[in-house]
């Protein structure tokens, strides 16, 4: 388990001082794929570099699998750091060395024979799926292949933890997906704890089981992917989710579809549902049973950690009381209902509720 306790980091001093981390605490369980998301400047890189003490903190404690890194001598720390692999956005490969040499480099000086090093490099290249590139140079590889070399190099010393610093940000969507799949595979095969920092919620959605959201040097929200996606607690998290789920531009869509007949009651809601309930026809049921007209403005179903996660934005038109009863039915079935806009008969004016 990784325990970060009240990490604080300030760059510069006096007027120029930037508080990059403000008492950040987190617990990351062994075997987690833990995502840390935030906009540029939120403090993500500083935080991930504090996990292996590449960054010197002002105060705080880092404990990994029971060993408090912040208390170790430089020599002991070097030893412990071997259990923490790291990969980077721009791969950080040695350009003038072959793939073989890049991966063999961290194995040197460890008392291994040439044959043992050779075996290990080949095994790692098989694991990351680019054995055929063993004697290529980085310039002869695609971005995705370079990152595979970076992953193989990070795994050379059989680490317990893999830190990924924006590891897919320089890759196209296809390579991003394949690298994320590789990280998932490695996490499962090697029972490796993976910490990913990113500014893309797609990355979190694709592989992580838990997520922490950072803003201005603080963790503002943390939880399982399902909990955070289905019930985000902060505006910044809602923004990240909106981007990845395609909710952006919804306000405009709602306005375009806004029924402006004062004789009608209309409620526009976002319904979010997780798990088995996604397979049930609740929308047609409320339409039928409560005599409500349902206009679907937006819909999506995604898989989060293999669990279906759906969201719909619908306009419900009809009797206000019946609509409220229908909403109660949805909520009693653990479907989250968020009112986006209300308009109509029993209200004299349109009200925007979101």
Ligand X SMILES: Nc1ncnc2c1ncn2[C@@H]1O[C@H](COP(=O)(O)OP(=O)(O)OP(=O)(O)O)[C@@H](O)[C@H]1O
Interface residue list for ligand X (CB under 6 A): 11-12, 18, 20, 38, 40-46, 199
- Per the CB < 8 A criterion, the answer to whether 70 and 59 are in contact is no
Least CB distance from residue 202 to ligand X, whole Å? Answer: 15
* Nearer of residues 54 and 339 to ligand X, judged by Cβ: 54
E strand segments, the chain: 2-11, 18-28, 33-37, 59-64, 67-68, 84-88, 161-165, 193-198, 210-215, 218-224, 265-274, 293-304, 307-318, 336-344, 351-352
Query: Is the alpha carbon torsion for 221, 165, 217, 236 positive or negative?
Result: negative
Least CB distance from residue 252 to ligand X, whole Å? Answer: 29
> Could you give the count of Cα atoms lying within 13 Å of 195 in the half-sphere of its Cβ?
29
Least CB distance from residue 20 to ligand X, whole Å? Answer: 4
* Nearer of residues 44 and 153 to ligand X, judged by Cβ: 44
The residue assigned the tokens 């998301």 is 37
- Per the CB < 8 A criterion, the answer to whether 327 and 269 are in contact is yes
Planar angle of CA 163, 164, 165, nearest 5 degrees: 115
Pairing of strands 351-352, 218-224: unpaired
* HEC per residue, 287-304: HHHHCCEEEEEEEEEEEE
Least CB distance from residue 41 to ligand X, whole Å? Answer: 4
Least CB distance from residue 196 to ligand X, whole Å? Answer: 12
E strand segments, 101-172: 161-165
- Per the CB < 8 A criterion, the answer to whether 103 and 68 are in contact is no
* Nearer of residues 41 and 60 to ligand X, judged by Cβ: 41
Least CB distance from residue 237 to ligand X, whole Å? Answer: 15
The alpha carbon of 232 is separated from its chain's Cα centroid by a whole number of angstroms, namely: 13
Least CB distance from residue 18 to ligand X, whole Å? Answer: 5
Question: Can you read off the two tokens belonging to residue 256?
Answer: 């375009």
C-alpha dist (Å) from residue 314 to 43, 99, 126, 177, 247: 37, 53, 49, 31, 13
Say how far apart CA 228 and CA 216 lie, in whole Å. 19
Least CB distance from residue 213 to ligand X, whole Å? Answer: 11
Question: Which secondary structure element, helix H or strand E, spans residue 70, and what is its range?
Answer: none
* Nearer of residues 221 and 342 to ligand X, judged by Cβ: 221
* Nearer of residues 18 and 301 to ligand X, judged by Cβ: 18
* Nearer of residues 214 and 335 to ligand X, judged by Cβ: 214
Q: What is the largest CA-CA distance in the chain?
A: 84
Planar angle of CA 258, 308, 330, nearest 5 degrees: 50
* Nearer of residues 50 and 182 to ligand X, judged by Cβ: 50
* Nearer of residues 102 and 237 to ligand X, judged by Cβ: 237
Least CB distance from residue 325 to ligand X, whole Å? Answer: 46
* Nearer of residues 52 and 317 to ligand X, judged by Cβ: 52
* Nearer of residues 23 and 285 to ligand X, judged by Cβ: 23
Least CB distance from residue 63 to ligand X, whole Å? Answer: 21
């Amino acid at each position: 388990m990784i325990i970060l306790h009240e990490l604080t980091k300030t760059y510069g001093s006096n007027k120029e001082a930037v508080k990059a981390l403000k008492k950040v605490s987190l617990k990351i369980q062994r075997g987690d794929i833990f995502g840390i998301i935030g906009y540029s400047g939120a403090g993500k890189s500083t935080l991930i570099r504090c996990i292996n003490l590449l960054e010197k903190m002002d105060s705080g404690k880092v404990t990994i699998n029971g060993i408090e890194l912040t208390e170790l001598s430089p020599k002991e720390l070097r030893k412990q750091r071997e259990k923490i692999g790291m990969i980077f956005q721009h791969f950080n490969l040695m350009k003038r060395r072959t793939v073989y040499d890049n991966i063999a480099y961290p194995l040197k000086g460890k008392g291994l024979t040439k044959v043992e090093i050779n075996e290990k490099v080949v095994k790692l290249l098989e694991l990351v799926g680019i054995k055929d590139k063993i004697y290529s140079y980085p310039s002869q590889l695609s971005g995705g292949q370079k990152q595979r070399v970076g992953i193989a190099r990070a795994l050379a010393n059989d680490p317990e933890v893999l830190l990924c610093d924006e590891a897919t940000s320089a890759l196209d969507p296809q390579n991003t997906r394949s690298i994320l799949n590789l990280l998932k595979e490695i996490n499962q095969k090697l029972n490796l704890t993976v910490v990913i920092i990113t500014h893309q919620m797609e990355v979190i959605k694709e592989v992580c089981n838990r997520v922490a959201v950072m803003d201005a040097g603080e963790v503002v929200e943390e939880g399982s992917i399902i909990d955070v996606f289905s019930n985000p607690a902060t505006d910044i998290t809602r923004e990240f989710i909106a981007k990845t789920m395609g909710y952006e531009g919804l306000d405009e869509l709602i306005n375009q579809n806004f029924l402006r007949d004062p004789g009608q009651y209309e409620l526009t809601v976002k319904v979010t549902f997780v798990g088995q309930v996604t397979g049930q026809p609740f929308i047609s049921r409320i339409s039928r049973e409560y005599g409500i007209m349902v206009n679907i403005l937006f819909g999506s179903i995604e898989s989060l950690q293999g669990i279906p996660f759906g969201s719909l934005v619908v306009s419900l038109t009809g009797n206000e009381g019946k609509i409220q009863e229908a909403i109660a039915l949805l909520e009693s079935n653990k479907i989250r209902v968020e009112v986006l806009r209300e308009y109509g008969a029993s209200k004299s004016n349109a009200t925007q509720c979101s």
